[in-house]
Chains A and B, each alone.
Chain A
Amino acid sequence: MKRNRGYQILANTVMLLVTALVILPFVLLLMSSLTDENVLLANGYSFIPGKFSLGAYEYIFRSGDKIFRAYGMTILITATGTVANIAMTALFAYPLSLKKLPARRVITFLVFFTMLFNGGLVPSYILWSNYIGVKDTVWGLILPNLMLSPMNILLMRTYFETSIPDTLYEAAQIDGASQPKIFTSIVLPLGKPILVTIGTFSALAYWNDWNNGLYYITQRTDLYAIQSLLNKMVSDIQFLSQNSGNVSSDLAATLSKVPSTGVQMAIAFVAILPIIAVFPFLQKYYSKGIALGAVKG
């Protein structure tokens, strides 16, 4: 046992260091948002606010029309997208989990193949924006890429296949239950753990998404979700610093619209707050989902 104690100390020391490395950057983010703006300008970001201030958060509440709007947008797309995602995944995965489904192997292969090969950004961007016309509409944030994941279909199919016994389906069919009835009264209740897991994946993907905003929302900045807004502030600042030699009145106008450094950190913190709030729940289902993903279909 003595030999073991040295090992325990080693393992705990390493993991405590890792934990600190993970947590401290978020502490820096929070502390920076709580620092007085003038102190921030003089001393930079710091773990200990030289002068504590809620000014950044007050600013968000006072003049944060744009920020509230973006936050609402994020909630809207997360809710809509996640519901659509779970429904479409379950409706596709259940038939695919039935061993007698005609062309089952071909369909499974066609789903799997999209994970091996894709057309890339250019065709998919042109398709969604020029042919389907989601550009600068709320659909641009919901439809492309995020609404259905082939990987999740296969995960859910495997779950249905292995955890719902065939005898249940047979019994229901003898009772004369229709397929929609079987789906709602057997598949959905028994598949609840996987539905929640896939829902968690999807909700987080929508909440964190900034790619769709970057590609498909270019003019209608009122449609920005919170991540897109954060991204936009970065590119505005980048633009300014790269053109600082010839600041025109246009640029100066943009400059005045970019929130101060403390406010930016506050917006970023507000964006991750819900993730922190539901972290225990996320962790439970995310870990489950990750472990499932390791078991190949």
Chain B
Amino acid sequence: MKEEKVVAKTTSSRMQKFKTWYPLFLMMLPGAVYIIINNYLPMLGIVIAFKNVDFKKGILASDWVGFKNFEFLFSSSDAFVITRNTLLYNIVFIILNTFLGILFAIFICDVTSKHLKKLYQSAILFPFLMSMVIVGYIVFAFFSMQSGIVNKTILPALGREPIFWYNEPKYWPAILIFVNTWKGVGYGCLIYISAINGIDPSLYEAAELDGAGKLKQILNITLPSILPNVITLTLLSVGRIFYSDFGLFYQVPRNSGMLYSTTNVIDTYVYRGLMQQNNIGMSSAAGVYQSLVGFVLVLLANLIVSKVSKENALF
């Protein structure tokens, strides 16, 4: 008898609970369905990399091929080139964007003129809001072989021969690094600006009374104060070091085949394999390679930070 009562009670409290929460879960339903379709179902699609996909049979019924797709991928020279390019570009991007982002943020915060401050803040955000297609057009206006301003105006003025920019891989690391910084530095910079604005001004006043110069103030007050933001941002970028901005490496070099040795990264390789060469096996193998190594790197980066300073870890 007693047991029954308890059961009845829990069911009625469950009913109560259900009544309270079901409207809220109903609200979450559209988003939940979307995340399941858009984010979780593709995770199951990782099996594609281990199959010889035949759309007539459907993905589930296609034949398993084990690690064959991966063997093909890693026996080609492509695997090395795309890994090297992805990693090296990202390392340079992280260093430059961090350094310049902090430098510009310090300058912008210290500028006394309100109008100029506003101007600089606007300028630094502006390219960040543009699509890579537009950026590709702008780069083309500079480097177009027949009508670019570099070949038509600048190089002749220097008495130099025109250069076939879109055929010569050696120029592209510099161009891509410049374009990435030009477009992306504003994002980190704005974060650092809001961090610097949060520093207690009395710290600077005290330092000034002690006769500390600007450089000393930056080194002893500004940098230590924004360090948590620097760590969080860097951590996020290190976690994404196996991923690249597809647009930067696809649009800006105009998908020029002659530039692949210095412009091909994992993302562009996966895209070309899938859409242009119709090589689903190799393409999905490269995608899985990226997802798995990328995942391990995020965890690793976070682990290291949580060992050094726990409060700066992401999770």
Contacts and interface: CB of A to CB of B under 8 A. Distances in A.
The finding on whether chains A and B are genuine partners in a shared complex, rather than unrelated, reads: yes
Interface of A: 3-4, 7-8, 10-12, 14-15, 18-19, 21-23, 25-26, 28-29, 32, 40-41, 43-47, 87-89, 91-92, 94-96, 98, 101-102, 107, 110-112, 114, 116-127, 130, 132, 143-145, 147-148, 150, 153, 178-180, 183, 204, 207-211, 214-215, 227, 230-231, 234-235, 237-238, 242, 261, 264-265, 268, 271-272, 275, 279, 282-283, 286-287, 290-291, 293-294, 296
B129 A125 contact: no
A79 to B, nearest CB: 18
Nearest to A200: B129
Nearest to A120: B287
Contact of B142 (A28, A183, A265, A291): A28
Contacts of B267: 121
Given A7-B214, A41-B147, A279 B45 contact: no
A95 B190 contact: no
Interface stretch (B3-11, B74-82, B117-125): B117-125
Given A119-B287, A208-B131, 11 more contacts: A11-B108, A15-B120, A18-B123, A29-B138, A95-B24, A117-B291, A230-B133, A234-B136, A282-B129, A287-B121, A293-B191
Given A28-B142, A91-B27, A272-B130, A279 B122 contact: yes
Contacts of A153: 31
Contacts of B21: 101-102
A126 B141 contact: no
Nearest to B280: A122
A126 B59 contact: yes
B123 A7 contact: no
29 contacts: A3-B214, A11-B107, A26-B138, A29-B134, A29-B141, A32-B141, A46-B152, A47-B149, A91-B27, A102-B21, A116-B298, A119-B39, A119-B287, A120-B46, A120-B291, A122-B45, A122-B280, A126-B59, A148-B34, A150-B35, A150-B39, A178-B23, A204-B129, A210-B251, A237-B254, A279-B129, A282-B129, A283-B122, A291-B191
Contacts of B134: 29, 208, 227, 230, 268, 271-272
B23 A92 contact: no
Nearest to A119: B42
B284 A120 contact: yes
Nearest to B298: A116
B38 A144 contact: yes
Interface residues of B, number: 102
A4 B136 contact: no
Majority SS at the chain A contact face: helix
Contact of A45 (B144, B246, B270, B271): B144
A118, A230, A234, A265: residue with the most chain B Cβ atoms closer than 10 Å: A118
A289 B24 CA distance: 26
B180 to A, nearest CB: 14
Contacts of A107: 28
A283 B193 CA distance: 14
Contacts of A179: 23-24, 27
B31 A121 contact: no
A88 B138 contact: no
A286 B111 contact: no
B41 to A, nearest CB: 6
A169 B107 CA distance: 44
Nearest to A132: B37
A231 B131 CA distance: 11
B30 A290 contact: no
Given A230-B137, A238-B255, A283-B122, A210 B131 contact: yes
A290 B191 contact: yes
A290 B190 contact: yes
Contact of A118 (B55, B130, B291): B291
Given A8-B112, A45-B147, A117 B295 contact: yes
Contacts of A210: 131-133, 247, 251
Which 9 A-B pairs give the minimum distances between C-beta atoms? Answer: A123-B45, A44-B152, A119-B42, A120-B287, A92-B31, A208-B131, A44-B147, A95-B24, A11-B107
Given A95-B25, A215-B275, A18 B124 contact: yes
B195 interface: yes
Nearest to A109: B315
Contacts of B290: 120
